[in-house]
Structure 1
Amino acid sequence: MSPTVYSTCPQSKDVPARDYLDAVAATARWSEEAGCAGMLVYTDNGIADPWLVAQAAIAATERLAPLVAVQPVYMHPYTAASMVSSLAYLHGRAVHLNLLAGGFKNDLVALGDHTAHDDRYARTVEYTRILTALLRGETVTHHGRWHHVENLRLAPSLPPELMPELLISGSSPAGRAAAGEIGATPIRYPEPLGAETAEVPTGGGVRVGIIARDDADQAWRVAHERFPPDRAGQVAHAMAMRVSDSHWHHQLAARAGAPTPQADLDAEPEPYWLGPFENYRTFCPYLVGSHDRVAAEIARHLERGTEVFVLDIPPDPDDLGHAGEVFARATAAVQV
């Protein structure tokens, strides 16, 4: 069985306003042509609204499902449900949801939210139960810790076949528990699959970038050209670490600089790379190397039951093509 693969949409802060709509449409088309099930659309205090970006992605494609990041602090669960059902009504298309419990701490504080880490996951569970009940067509009465609704119904209704897939961060115990409570796929930021990491969680999904080419040296040249060392980025990374209570952020930071186990696959370097994360260019590890070497690493994730892969923002369609080649080889290896 093939895994579900999502790409990621460019962020408005990284693209001039006059070019952003075209960038969203282009990335969505590349993703659809590469066979991705959907495209993650970020949300935070400093970028364009993800629901409006999602509509632009839908308009540019035929089947791609935007994976919209949903932060309970930003909108009522009825509003989020209405966005899903309204886009389905207007376009006959599904929208998937990436449920957030946290985000940048300063963003939350700016909005007056000082909720503790594990309580944020409890809030997301309550929020999601209301949202999904509305999408199922139920009349919802709920008096909870964070939300109170009385005989609430959603219109327009959502066709059952367009019910969204749910993803949620699963790097922390609270995140994994929340995933189980709401039936969401827990997404984690993986560590290297070496001997000392034999206890990493199985199943669920991972957030990882891929730079693969026929030749490992070529792949690493591309990687270092795309993500060169950046002193300003390293300073920003250190500052973010000081205020973050994110489990995944601290897990990756602890991993940075540590020796990575070398797999016994000829002399090609271990593909796991945290260079972009350490330079504050992105928030996920990368796998870099030849198609076969990176495919071997992806195959090990598949063997552990990983079902969903969320890739980083692609700079061009060729990058997604190379990732597709990796997944094809990995899937074939696991099925042998």
Structure 2
Amino acid sequence: MTGLTVYSTCPQSKDVAAADYLDAVAATARWSEEAGCAGMLVYTDNGIADPWLVSQTAIAATTRLAPLVAVQPVYMHPYTAASMVSSLAYLHGRSVHLNMLAGGFKNDLVALGDRTEHDDRYARTVEYTQILTALLRGETVTRDGRWHQVENLRLAPPLPTELMPEVLISGSSPAGRAAAEEIGATPIRYPEPLGAGTDTDAPTGGGVRMGIIARDDADEAWRVAHERFPADRAGQVAHAMAMRVSDSHWHHQLAAAAKAPTPPAELDAEPDPYWLGPFENYQSFCPYLVGSHDRVAAEVARYVERGTDVFVLDIPPAAEDLGHAGEVFARAGAAVGA
């Protein structure tokens, strides 16, 4: 997909029947590879299948796609995560990318006995990632850290240099952006609207997490969007409850964006494509861009012009959605190039 790095997202086991889940993972991985995605994000939390096992299924179904595995430091030692990366490389000759987590659902962390404060969680993830990546580089690691202590630790089997993973981390908060700089990771944020007439001091560079619903005709795109993510009172209540307990910066930033007035559209113009309907109804955790290919591409181009070069898309319900997203990125790339 043009010169940008685009990731799709894997379906979650909680949303698919067990008998169908492996096929759903494999199909989404193939769609993503055929659409030109560099990889596919695989979530982790207390309520879904293990991301490493899911990633093996994605690798087996494709020839080059890199699973972007969400890594929660609370779940495993950094050596274990490094061993997963090197073992998959050894068995399949394939790269695995890493999406380093600092937070997660608060109740998940409390259930595991972890009550670490927000900024300290990022400090822990920095220490964790530094040990993990040093092992992957083939170093013998000794570290007496705040959270991990290792002595003369070395990884086997070693990871081939050409399969060293890309590393991403949430960059919506100052602590997240500082952590990204310290570990050399790409900061990923949930973007604020950048449409014409929008006043924003949103961060530049790095990557964004968003969904795209685009069609040749804007009315058709919005019809699909509202059919896929209908208003849901129970979802709105769940969203409000989550807001009350969340300490995630991105959660509150998106909630503030949802309350901000939308700039009026010109007569006969398409509505602003930035849409938080799925977020407000607890159906997805990222904003969406909705509209015609050209209108959505113009919006994507605004992010690219501000230095964004990584896009992590929401879970695609069908192959055609990635095809439409690919058309958007192609037009956005052409616009920025021009």
Q: TM-score range by the shorter chain?
A: over 0.9
Which secondary structure does the structure 2 equivalent of 1:187 belong to? Answer: strand
The verdict on how the C-alpha distance between 1:93 and 1:232 changes in structure 2, with shifts beyond 3 A counting, is same
Q: Please give the alpha-carbon distance, in whole angstroms, between the structure 2 residues aligned to 1:145 and 1:266.
A: 59
The verdict on how the C-alpha distance between 1:263 and 1:79 changes in structure 2, with shifts beyond 3 A counting, is farther
Residues 206 and 308 in structure 1, CA contact (< 8 A), matched pair in contact too: yes
The verdict on how the C-alpha distance between 1:299 and 1:76 changes in structure 2, with shifts beyond 3 A counting, is same
Q: Please give the alpha-carbon distance, in whole angstroms, between the structure 2 residues aligned to 1:189 and 1:266.
A: 29
Aligned letter for 2:118? H
Residues 188 and 207 in structure 1, CA contact (< 8 A), matched pair in contact too: yes
The verdict on how the C-alpha distance between 1:256 and 1:185 changes in structure 2, with shifts beyond 3 A counting, is same
What residue in structure 2 maps to residue 200 of structure 1?
A: 202
The verdict on how the C-alpha distance between 1:285 and 1:156 changes in structure 2, with shifts beyond 3 A counting, is same
Residues 260 and 272 in structure 1, CA contact (< 8 A), matched pair in contact too: no
Q: Please give the alpha-carbon distance, in whole angstroms, between the structure 1 residues aligned to 2:225 and 2:193.
A: 18
What residue in structure 1 maps to residue 24 of structure 2?
A: 23
Question: Within 5 A, what are the aligned runs for 1:100-139?
Answer: 100-139=101-140
Task: After TM superposition, give the deviation of residue 198 of structure 1 in Å.
Answer: 3.8
Q: Please give the alpha-carbon distance, in whole angstroms, between the structure 2 residues aligned to 1:297 and 1:96.
A: 27
Q: Which runs of 4+ in 1 moved over 6 A?
A: none
Which secondary structure does the structure 1 equivalent of 2:259 belong to? Answer: coil
| CA displacement 1:212-235 (0-9 Å, x = unmatched) | 000000000000000001111111
RMSD: 1.1
Structure 1: tracts of 5 or more residues without a match? none
What residue in structure 1 maps to residue 315 of structure 2?
A: 313
Aligned letter for 2:282? Y
User: Could you tell me which of 310, 323, 326 is aligned with 2:325?
Assistant: 323
Question: Within 5 A, what are the aligned runs for 1:32-111?
Answer: 32-111=33-112
User: Could you tell me which of 257, 270, 273 is aligned with 1:271?
Assistant: 273
Alignment: residue pair count:
336
Q: Please give the alpha-carbon distance, in whole angstroms, between the structure 2 residues aligned to 1:48 and 1:287.
A: 29
Residues 212 and 288 in structure 1, CA contact (< 8 A), matched pair in contact too: yes
What residue in structure 2 maps to residue 260 of structure 1?
A: 262
Task: After TM superposition, give the deviation of residue 256 of structure 1 in Å.
Answer: 1.4
The verdict on how the C-alpha distance between 1:201 and 1:123 changes in structure 2, with shifts beyond 3 A counting, is same
Residues 192 and 261 in structure 1, CA contact (< 8 A), matched pair in contact too: no
Question: Within 5 A, what are the aligned runs for 1:153-192?
Answer: 153-192=154-193
Task: After TM superposition, give the deviation of residue 263 of structure 1 in Å.
Answer: 6.3
Q: Does 1:210 align with 2:212?
A: yes
Identity of aligned residues (%): 86
User: Could you tell me which of 284, 287, 290 is aligned with 1:285?
Assistant: 287
Q: Please give the alpha-carbon distance, in whole angstroms, between the structure 1 residues aligned to 2:267 and 2:215.
A: 16
Which secondary structure does the structure 1 equivalent of 2:7 belong to? Answer: strand
Task: After TM superposition, give the deviation of residue 258 of structure 1 in Å.
Answer: 2.3
Aligned letter for 1:220? W
Structure 2: tracts of 5 or more residues without a match? none
Q: Structure 2 length normalisation: TM-score? A: 0.98
The verdict on how the C-alpha distance between 1:262 and 1:140 changes in structure 2, with shifts beyond 3 A counting, is farther
The verdict on how the C-alpha distance between 1:35 and 1:265 changes in structure 2, with shifts beyond 3 A counting, is farther
